[in-house]
Amino acid sequence: MKIRSTKILTNVRPLGTDLEVVSRTKPELIDFALADENGKLVYQTLIQPNNCNLSDEKKRKGYTEDALSRAPKLEEVLPTIYAIIETKLLVFWNEEYDLSIFPQLAEKAYATVCAMKRYSAAYGVRNPYFGNNTYVSLSKAAERIGNPGHKLVAHTAASDAIATAEIWKWMEDQNLPLKHCDTDMIPITDYEKVIQEKEILKQKCAQLESKSHLEVVKPSLSSKQDKIGDSDVPF
């Protein structure tokens, strides 16, 4: 997360940001979009990759090799993108992944932030083993705030950027904490406490089993009485 000033950040306009690539194994940009907090698309463009060999999943989402072969190259759209984001807060769902693909965004934007971490800190499923919450998918978060249809159009830059922007606005309205740390996690439920206590009990049992070779000697009552003389009796 890149934040220049928390105070100034409150006056910076957020933009939901998403990008799509050829595939996880071929992380070349093919689609980029920005959306405002009202769910309105601010900017979207296809981007021509060096390799247009799309997976079946991308084809099902509406991407075609023909359209991508006629799309502008990344360097052609960079000036427009940079001009838009210079004074904006870029809100990613998965900031770490997206910036690994398009790191220049962090350099050119006013600030960047991860919506997934903020949302998951409040609503993710608690993981007793690691002591934190698991990450929530964008579609599940969108469904929670009243957009169940997002899962039908997920994984296109426009739809994901809009959903991210809407969720960010919802989190702002809910005043969810901005910092992403364990102190922001949701309280452990009773069921999760049982799981945690069971794990602690298992650890204690394992410790006791590791000491099973030690002999525990308990003093017997008869041996103690043999050592007590008449003079030791208090009455």
The H or E element that residue 80 is part of is helix 74-85
Instruction: Give a yes or no: residue 62 inside a domain.
Output: yes
Residue 88 sits in a domain whose CATH number is 3.30.420.10
Scan for tokens 């998403």, then name that residue: 18
Average pLDDT of the residues of the chain: 80
Looking at the chain, the whole-number percentage of residues with pLDDT higher than 70 is 74
Scan for tokens 């957020």, then name that residue: 14
- What's the confidence (pLDDT) of residue 234? 46
Instruction: Give a yes or no: residue 112 inside a domain.
Output: yes
Q: Helices then strands (H, E): number in the chain?
A: 12, 7
Instruction: Give a yes or no: residue 211 inside a domain.
Output: no
Q: How far apart are CA 72 and CA 46, in angstroms?
A: 7
Residue type, 60: R
For the segment 222-232, what is each residue's pLDDT rounded down to a tens digit? 444 444 444 44
Q: Are 125 and 137 in contact (CB under 8 A)?
A: no
Find all residues with CB under 8 Å of 189, minimum gap 6, and list them. Answer: 126
What is the secondary structure of 6-70 as a DSSP string? HHHHTTSPEEEEEEEES-SSS--EEEEEEE-TTS-EEEEEE---S-----HHHHHTT--HHHHHT
| 3-class state of residue 83 by DSSP | helix
Residues in the chain: 235
Q: Is the pLDDT of residue 210 over 80?
A: no
Looking at the chain, the whole-number percentage of residues with pLDDT higher than 90 is 49
Instruction: Give a yes or no: residue 54 inside a domain.
Output: yes
Instruction: Give a yes or no: residue 26 inside a domain.
Output: yes
> What is the extent of the structural domain holding 11?
6-184
- What's the confidence (pLDDT) of residue 186? 34
Model confidence at 213, pLDDT cuts 50, 70, 90, reads low
Average pLDDT over residues 47-67: 90
Phi, psi of 20 (to 5 degrees): -125, 150
Instruction: Give a yes or no: residue 200 inside a domain.
Output: no
Of the candidate ranges 31-45, 144-158, 217-231, the one whose mean pLDDT is the lowest: 217-231
Find all residues with CB under 8 Å of 85, minimum gap 6, and list them. Answer: 15, 34, 105, 108, 109, 110
Report the candidate in 102, 123, 93 with the shortest Cα–Cα distance to residue 186. 123
Q: Are 112 and 95 in contact (CB under 8 A)?
A: yes
Model confidence at 6, pLDDT cuts 50, 70, 90, reads very low
Model confidence at 75, pLDDT cuts 50, 70, 90, reads very high
Instruction: Give a yes or no: residue 51 inside a domain.
Output: yes
Of the candidate ranges 7-21, 74-88, 187-201, the one whose mean pLDDT is the lowest: 187-201
Tally the domains of the chain.
Answer: 1
Q: Are 20 and 45 in contact (CB under 8 A)?
A: no
Q: How far apart are CA 68 and CA 80, in angstroms?
A: 19
